[in-house]
Amino acid sequence: MITHDLLIIGGGLAGMRAALEAGKNVDVAVVSKIHPLRSHSGAAQGGIAAVLDGWAQNIGDSLESHIQDTVKGSDYLGDQDAIEILCNEAPGDIRVLDRMGALFSRTDEGRIAQRDFGGHSYARTCYASDKTGHILLQTLYEQMMKQRVKVYPEWHVVSLIIHKNICRGLVAYDMVRGELQVIRAKAILFATGGYGRAYGITSNAHANTGDGLALAYRAGVPLQDMEFVQFHPTGLYRHGILITEGARGEGGYLINKDGERFMERYAPNKMELASRDVVSRAVQTEIDEGRGIDGHVHLDLRHLGKELIMSRLSQIHDIALSFSGIDCTVDPIPIQPTAHYSMGGIPTDVDGRVPGFSGLFAAGECACVSVHGANRLGGNSMLETIVFGRRAGIKAAEYVKKTTLQPMPADALPLIEQKIKLMINNKGEENAANISVELQSNMTLKCGIFRDIDGLTQMQQLIIALKERFKNIGLRDWGMTFNTELIEALELKNILDFSQIIVAGALAREESRGAHSRTDFPNRDDEHWMKHTLAYQGGQGPVLDYKPVIITRYNPQRRVY
């Protein structure tokens, strides 16, 4: 049987950063359902936030300001001890990435260039043109190869083996060889990324189906703050593909059908660079109240000039041209909000440990530390993958060094084999793709930017009905080799499970905070709702509980931009 000390599920930025750190001391392997270089991290465009000493003081920036902006951005739901670590450790981590060979864009004087980003008080987002994630992913992969970390690419994890809350290993579907494999390990670190694919319009890759969340939930881990889903204001109309906040950071602005810069009415100080929840609601309100153009508004970059666009936003130029036929040096880009980021996830402490379990760790977008609270600031997510990926890697290595391998339950593999066989041989009439489309389009409508009791209740009932229909799906591919239909069905099961949690959390939370906006409860209610949601698996769906927010130095204030 394959055995490693530590298994990392996920080869994105968080997984690889953790592997590099842990791999110095223990036997670590990365299991990834797609090749690591195809992870969604590679799609990140705009940049990674950090206050770089030596320069920050010149523009008035400080670590304190980054912390304050992040706490305010989180609408005071972020845990402040974790936020302080995120911001304080950022400069050191950027230096490490730079030394590893990450090609950050530079100023004429040779400094790492930094641009403005939404919700940040100063230009502190380090970038590599508009391909920052791609560059960082390549850099970490090269380092991982140099360190000879074992990778299992195109191995799809289908189940965890956890007994008495102690990790023993996992079962993965090796797609190329068409086999189910058990891998034993002393510890597992989740780095499985986000879940944007629960929504019809999303900036997320097809692989972002929240598998890690569903696996952890079924193993008894409660999921935290799942109702907080970030909608990015500028998705390409109809496609949802991201047009980076960096485009507004470079000076692009938003206009409605009358050519009005409408952000003046919503965030007079920060305008287009207010935080994402604020700008997304503004864009959607313009569209809903008839000031959009056929369901979209415009992002105008023309005044930036061709030279700047082609040097700093060339990918945006490509995307608009390839998918919408728009040359953004000549015409404005049609945009609408797009489901983008999951603030919630697997709860961890500041060292990536999942409370209540031995040998379980999580980092990156699938984790909820929680540094983003109710709304994440741009540039802080890649930063989270690097800072907390490193920290979790260190602690996971320490853990496995002082632990022994636990015995495996004999039925781990047969149970999963039986489930997969049942799914493949089921001759039902339902089709996974149809169920997905119905779920996704309704999540956008009923559990999207604006929510209310009626829409959420309907969504809750629809998910129960879709789960019933799921039992009756029939696959047309009955083989085991590269069965993508099987993968889609497994992913859909995950999406159905955690969508139910998003809706349950959103229905219960009778207030508006950050990305969670209830039209029937329009105000933030600190007295009753200044707390994190925890959703446990129950017999009839999620069972909710709550835990306090960690406040160190910043008391909640009214949030205006």
Ligand X SMILES: Cc1cc2nc3c(=O)[nH]c(=O)nc-3n(C[C@H](O)[C@H](O)[C@H](O)COP(=O)(O)OP(=O)(O)OC[C@H]3O[C@@H](n4cnc5c(N)ncnc54)[C@H](O)[C@@H]3O)c2cc1C
Q: Considering only the stretches 273-281, 363-371, 472-480, 534-542, report the one whose residues sit in contact with ligand X under the rule CB under 6 A.
A: 363-371
| Binder among 4, 22, 41, 270 for ligand X (CB under 6 A) | 41
- Of 192, 230, 436, 533, the one binding ligand X by CB under 6 A: 192
Alpha carbon distances (Å) from 475 to 321, 487, 489: 37, 11, 9
Among 19, 39, 281, 396, binds ligand X (CB under 6 A): 39
- Please say which residue, 13 or 456, places its beta carbon nearer to ligand X: 13
- What are the Cα distances from residue 426, in Å, to 157, 413, 467? 21, 20, 15
Give the DSSP H/E element, type plus range, for residue 475.
none
Which amino acid, 28?
Answer: V
Kindly tell me which residue out of 26, 28, 48, 371 binds ligand X, with binding defined by CB under 6 A: 48
Q: Which stretch binds ligand X (CB under 6 A): 3-11, 78-86, 142-150, 414-422?
A: 3-11
Q: Which of 36, 91, 119, 542 forms a contact with ligand X (CB under 6 A)?
A: 36
**Residue 85 in the binding site for ligand X (CB under 6 A):** no
Place of tokens 């890759």: 205
Q: Compose the 93-132 pattern: x for residues touching ligand X by CB under 6 A, - for all others.
A: ---------------------------------------x
Q: Which of residues 308-337 bind ligand X (CB under 6 A)?
A: none
Q: Which is nearer to ligand X, 377 or 475 (CB)?
A: 377
Exposure letters 504-514 (e unless 16+ CB within 10 A, then b) = bbbbebebbbb
Return the number of the residue (170 or 507) whose C-beta is nearest ligand X.
170
| Token pair 């707390």: residue | 531
Work out how close the CB of 550 gets to ligand X at its nearest, in angstroms, rounded to a whole number.
Answer: 22
Q: How far, in Å, CA of 510 to CA of 327, rounded? A: 44
Is residue 276 annotated as a catalytic residue, yes or no?
yes
| Shortest reach from residue 118's CB to ligand X, in Å | 11
**What is the CA angle 361-369-103, rounded to 5?**
85
Q: Which stretch binds ligand X (CB under 6 A): 312-320, 343-351, 361-369, 427-435?
A: 361-369
Nearest-approach distance from CB 257 to ligand X, in angstroms: 27
Strands 517-518 and 450-451: parallel
Q: Say whether residue 47 binds ligand X (CB under 6 A).
A: yes
Decide if residue 171 touches ligand X (CB under 6 A).
no
Among 79, 250, 365, 488, binds ligand X (CB under 6 A): 365
Give CA 174 to chain center in angstroms. Answer: 25
Query: Is residue 429 classed as helix, strand or coil in its secondary structure?
Result: coil
In the DSSP assignment, the letter for residue 198 is G
Cβ atoms within 10 Å, residue 99: 8
> Closest by alpha carbon to 251, among 291, 309, 203?
309
343 or 473, CB closer to ligand X?
343
Q: Does 276 bind ligand X (CB under 6 A)?
A: no
Can you say how many angstroms the Cα of residue 250 is from the centroid of all Cα atoms in its chain? Answer: 24
From 4, 20, 21, 33, residue interacting with ligand X (rule: CB under 6 A): 33
Q: Which phi-psi region, left, alpha or beta, contains residue 324 (left: φ > 0; alpha: ψ -120 to 50)?
A: alpha
What are 188's strand-pairing partners?
7, 360
Asked if 345 is part of the footprint of ligand X (rule: CB under 6 A), the reply reads no
Under DSSP, is residue 4 helix (H, G, I), strand (E, B) or coil?
A: strand
362's tokens? 């999580």
Q: Bin 135: left if φ > 0, else alpha if -120 < ψ < 50, else beta.
A: alpha
Cβ 313 vs Cβ 245: under 8 Å: no
User: Which one, 70 or 208, has the nearer CB to ligand X?
Assistant: 208
For the CB of residue 150, give the shortest distance to ligand X in the complex, in Å.
Answer: 14
Least separation, in Å, of the C-beta of 131 and ligand X? 10
Please, which residue, 77 or 343, has the CB nearer to ligand X? 343
Tell me the C-alpha distance between 31 and 23, whole Å.
14
Which of 381, 436, 440, 460 contacts ligand X by CB under 6 A?
381
Find the binder of ligand X among 10, 78, 233, 448 (CB under 6 A): 10
Q: What is the CA radius of gyration of the chain?
A: 22
Identify the residue among 7, 12, 129, 234 touching ligand X (CB under 6 A).
12
Report which of 287, 206, 198 is spatially closest to residue 241, judged by C-alpha positions.
Answer: 206
| From 332, 364, 373, 514, residue interacting with ligand X (rule: CB under 6 A) | 364
* Contact criterion met (CB below 8 Å) for 261 and 248: no
Q: Return d(Cα 80, Cα 334) in angstroms, integer.
A: 37
**Token reading at 375:** 């709304």
The answer to whether residue 240 forms part of the interface with ligand X (CB under 6 A) is no
Nearer to ligand X, 384 or 511 (CB): 384
Residue whose CB is less far from ligand X, 192 or 517: 192
Contacts of 458 (CB under 8 A, 6+ apart): 442, 446
User: What's the closest the beta carbon of residue 36 comes to ligand X, in angstroms?
Assistant: 5
Sole window of 52-60, 185-193, 531-539, 553-561 interacting with ligand X (rule: CB under 6 A) = 185-193
Residue nearest to ligand X (CB): 12
**Residue in 248, 276, 353, 559 annotated catalytic:** 276
Residues in 197-216 at the binding interface with ligand X, rule: CB under 6 A: 203-204, 207-208, 211-212
Handedness of CA 265, 270, 275, 276 (dihedral sign): positive
Closest alpha carbon to 488 in 504, 500, 476, 501: 476
**Interface of this chain with ligand X, residues 383 to 442, rule: CB under 6 A:** 385
Per CB under 6 A, 370 contacts ligand X: no
List contacts with ligand X (CB under 6 A): 9-15, 31-34, 36, 39-41, 43-48, 132-133, 156-157, 191-194, 203-204, 207-208, 211-212, 242, 244, 341, 364-366, 378-382, 385
Enzyme catalytic residues: 276
